[in-house]
A and B are shown apart, each in its own frame.
Chain A
Amino acid sequence: MQTVKITVNGALYEETIPARMLLVDFLRDRLALTGTHVGCTHEGVCGACTIHLDGEAVKSCMMLAVQADGHAVTTVEGLARNQELSVLQKSFREHHGLQCGFCTPGILMNMTDFLARHPNPSDEEIRQGLIGNLCRCTGYVHIVKAVREASKTLASTAG
């Protein structure tokens, strides 16, 4: 057992955990942040567990929680500010970028990071950026649209 200090969505958590606990289980089982989902066994392909580690999109099922000790994690629960959804979250609602919603938190986390680095993406770049997130419901069409429209909104409101 090991004591870790991890900042999650701005709050510092000090928890004693086994070394083998996956970060995704720490978030879901210890902190009850169940917006981060698990869709693989060991392979880490589906991307539903994507979170931000120090601002970068990573898969929380492919890390131990102890590896996040001393770092800042953001989960899908941390995207909205003061009960207000982010531009990307709103765009997913407006453009029907989700159906069952199981993959959605991971996609939102990955694309939030993506848009920060690619403010004016082409559809092809968006599709390339989404490779780490599988979606079974949407055929990706509305997801691409939601990301594209969010990028426009962000561009028009920036600066």
Chain B
Amino acid sequence: MDIQIQDSKHWMGARLERKEDLRLVSGQGKYLADIVLPGMLHAVFVRSEYAHARITGIDTSAARAMPGVVDVITGEEIKAHVKSMRQPVLLPNLPAKYPDYHALAVDRVKFHGEPVALVIARDKYLAEDAAEMVVVDYEELPVVVDAEKALAPGAPQIHDEQPGNEMFAMTFTGGATPEEQQRNDEEVERIFKSADVVVSHRFRVHRTGITPMEPRGVLCDWNMSDGLTAYITTQRPHIDRLALIDILDIPGEKVRVIAPRDQGGGFGVKAPFFRENVVISYAARKIGRPVRWIESRYESLMNVGQERDQINDLDVAATKDGKLLAMRNRGIANNGTGQTGVYWGFVMPFLGQVEMPNVYTWEKGDVKLRVATTNKACLTPSRAFGHLPTRFALERSVDMVARRIGMEPSDLRRKNMVPKLPYTTITGEYYDSGDFLKVWDNLMTNIDLPAFRREQAAARAQGRYIGIGFACGAELSGVASELLVPMENQPGYGAATVRIDPRGKVLIFGGDAPGGQGHETTTAQVVAAVFGINPADSVVTTGDTGSTPFGAGTIGARAGSYFVSAVHKACSELKEKITHVMAHDFGLRATAEEFAFTNGDVIYLRDPSKRKTFREIVERIIMFPVNLPEGEVGGLEATAFFEAAKPMICFNADFCIVEVNPDTGEFKIKRWVTSEDVGNVINQNIVDGQMHGAIVQGLSNVIFEEFIYTDEGQQLTADFENYKMATAADVPDIELTYASTPCPHTPLGTRGIGEGRPSSIPGALCNAVCDALSPFGIEITELPLRPSSLWAKIRDAKAARS
């Protein structure tokens, strides 16, 4: 009998059509705004018009008198009935000065857009009519929006808990004690004094982030028996549940959080715990009817999705033959008000500094960060969590070193790349596995550098400016508890429940809540590969705390690393049980490995006539649990947790060609090529899509997007006409190539991918632009990269030359 044991494996790596897509292309998706409960009321927030002001009075009487208005809730009422937002569940284990605050502003507003009151009405149009009638009297207070000004003596004090507006400060290098660190810093200083080459620049990255197409939303339902059911657009429903329990002081058995099956993107923006969740929950409990709030784009752009916003004063020392020696960085992050649970804004710049060394070997480093509180919205995580600015600074500096010593930037990168993994960087980041050089060499074989240099020289002779840029980056591939416990006060393990049903189908339950990453499909492919069934024969449920195992959330590329590994582990346990019963039923002394799960059958390899269909054997174990092997009981369901001892990584390298028009500063990306280590691939389409999206997000951040505040703290970019996201016509096609190494720490060799991917984009793009403009000696140290600023630099360089 012909047995194709490898058969089931073909589901791994396939470009399988996604299970999600039939509903999503036909308008049958169920996003938060599509969920309607009987008797549902509609809520609209009244938000602060000022960046810093004392609330001297709120008059809600006119609003209350409006037709259809059910209630108006203010900060004073929230303060009287609900705990503050600074609860232990939401505090990282990092020594920051955490500001206390309430879900609605009390006494003072501290940024433009802060929620001040909530209007609830039976119709959303009426709610908006009434919100206009809420009169808030403000007494303006001095505003500070610049991080350095906020840290300077005499600056307006924003939070009482933070003298001098410093929320967090840390040294990332040299050891745990101040003495060790000082010794280290002195050694770094000695290296700088004797180094052949030192490159020192101040790098500024503007405030930008990854705005999901679906804004946030909350729908809460309350009844006396079951308590609170909260539908929230969220990446971490289980953490949201704990926070609601603690803040609203509701017994845990009476809180259920449901992240809708379909969410319109997250990218980190839906990872924090937001104050709006508390206010809507409170309103539903108070009124006893379902209350729904759907965030407007205006509110979204005012409140969330704002990240980056760092200054990095980076010095790099190197030898004249291109060996990187030491780095010294002084980072300053503009955190806004820091009022957002889980991250409090500063955790992103914290990790950004950790990732500063990137994939290069350094003898020493001196890396320090200060995080300033200002009257801007709190930073919220955005894909490339905290390290887009630091990677920009470093990858630009590497190119500047190369230019100084007359070396090809690609040669300098390869020369300094960590040659062998595992490796721990000077900031203590652990790189578990992979082969950086293999990925790099793959990139170089996909481009023809000498040919490009000839083309470049010929173009210059015609007055055309083309250039190439490289950048690379190691990204976290899921985050182990070792890092997630200190950083976010949460476990890092992946968790999955796998339930086999008597009809031979497989139901998988995950506590994380995806937003477009295709969990249903990749999970089904993994299950299919293990059980030899079709991916169509399984169904994935995510995001409902009532039915899924506890998980930290869809964050930091945890699906391909932690979640599917937990799924695999649970499947393997069940497989073991199935083969145990099979062996018993056939009177065999066989191990699990002696059975093949393929094409919907379970087959004893030594005698393929001994076989059952998958459905037969699982139905027998679940429904007819008699005559079982000794010690075995019926049923087929397992929950497994997967943890890695250390964080894991993936790695990528970028190459691009640009042409700059020196007359206008406009630049065109002519080619973008990458090389990726993504480990073993579950679904190639999904991996490709993650990379495309991340790279274009990076480009859009660098060139187009910017949150702009006036000196008075007024935010000017709260709509899509002013917050400019790249359209299809503004960005290039992307050529992806792969040179992967299976991850040895996951059962399938997979890596989590896509989260940090945008961070190498600004370096690659700006390096290419600077390479193109090297005859002018232009070095870009500030983002965004706009034609207007580039043109001014070219003009100035021309003027200086003549």
Chain A residues close to B by CB (< 8 Å): 18, 20-21, 28, 33-43, 45-46, 48, 75-77, 79-80, 85, 89, 92-96, 98-105, 108, 123-124, 126-128, 130-131, 133-144
Contact = CB atoms under 8 A, between A and B. Distances in A.
A141 B692 contact: yes
Nearest to B22: A93
A133 B267 CA distance: 19
B25 A94 contact: no
14 contacts: A43-B297, A45-B719, A79-B26, A99-B518, A99-B693, A100-B214, A101-B264, A133-B728, A134-B725, A137-B265, A137-B516, A137-B693, A139-B694, A140-B727
A18 B720 CA distance: 27
A39 to B, nearest CB: 5
A8 to B, nearest CB: 12
A130 B731 CA distance: 12
Given A45-B721, A100-B214, 6 more contacts: A77-B26, A77-B28, A101-B262, A102-B213, A139-B697, A140-B692
A48 B213 contact: yes
Contact of A136 (B20, B685, B693): B693
A132 to B, nearest CB: 8
Given A101-B29, A134-B213, A96 B262 contact: no
A142 B686 CA distance: 10
B91 interface: no
A116 to B, nearest CB: 18
Nearest to A141: B692
Contacts of A138: 689, 692-693, 696
B555 to A, nearest CB: 16
B561 interface: no
Nearest to B295: A41
B733 A123 contact: yes
B515 interface: yes
Majority secondary structure, B binding face? loop
Contacts of A99: 265, 516-518, 689, 693
Contacts, number: 188
A149 B489 CA distance: 47
B26 A80 contact: yes
B731 A139 contact: yes
Nearest to A33: B27
B448 interface: no
B165 to A, nearest CB: 31
A95 B688 CA distance: 11
Interface string B2-14: 0000000000000
Given A43-B721, A96-B688, A102-B264, A37 B693 contact: no
B213 A103 contact: yes
Given A40-B297, A136-B210, A108 B25 contact: yes
B264 A76 contact: no
Contact of B728 (A38, A42, A98, A131): A131
A36 B30 CA distance: 11
A34 B35 CA distance: 9
Contacts of B729: 124, 127-128, 130-131
Interface in B22-39: 22, 24-31, 33-34
B211 interface: yes
A140 B728 contact: yes
Contacts of B725: 134, 136
B17 A140 contact: no
Given A37-B264, A40-B297, A136 B125 contact: no
Contacts of B696: 138-141
Contacts of A134: 213, 720, 725, 727
A50 to B, nearest CB: 12
Contacts of B695: 139
B381 interface: no
Contacts of B214: 37, 39, 100, 102
A68 B515 CA distance: 33
B641 to A, nearest CB: 27
Contact of A93 (B21, B264, B296, B718): B21
B689 A137 contact: yes
Nearest to B514: A100
Interface size bracket, B side? 35 or more
B298 interface: yes
A101 B34 contact: no
B693 A101 contact: no
B225 to A, nearest CB: 28
A92 B719 contact: no
B432 to A, nearest CB: 27
Contact of B25 (A28, A93, A128, A137): A93
Nearest to B28: A35
Given A34-B34, A131-B727, A139-B695, A89 B689 contact: no
A75 to B, nearest CB: 6
A46 B720 contact: yes
B697 A37 contact: no
Contacts of B21: 92-93, 98, 101
A141 B692 CA distance: 7
B719 to A, nearest CB: 4
Nearest to B35: A34
Nearest to B729: A127
B719 A43 contact: yes
B213 A35 contact: no
A102 B694 CA distance: 17
Interface in B15-66: 15, 17-18, 20-22, 24-31, 33-34
A59 to B, nearest CB: 12
Contacts of A137: 213, 265, 516, 689, 693
Nearest to A96: B685
A39 B215 contact: yes
Interface string B678-721: 00000001101100111111000000000000000000001111
Contacts of A18: 125
Nearest to A42: B719
A34 B33 contact: yes
B27 A75 contact: yes
Nearest first, the 7 A-B pairs at minimum CB distance are A35-B27, A100-B516, A102-B264, A139-B696, A101-B24, A139-B692, A99-B516
Contacts of A48: 213
B647 interface: no
Interface in B181-222: 210-215
B18 A93 contact: yes
A103 to B, nearest CB: 5
Nearest to B691: A139
B631 to A, nearest CB: 46
Contacts of B265: 99-100, 102, 136-137
A134 to B, nearest CB: 5
B689 A100 contact: no
A27 to B, nearest CB: 10
A98 B24 contact: yes
Given A100-B213, A142-B688, A34 B727 contact: no
B213 A98 contact: no
Contacts of B15: 96
B433 interface: no
B437 interface: no
B264 A41 contact: no
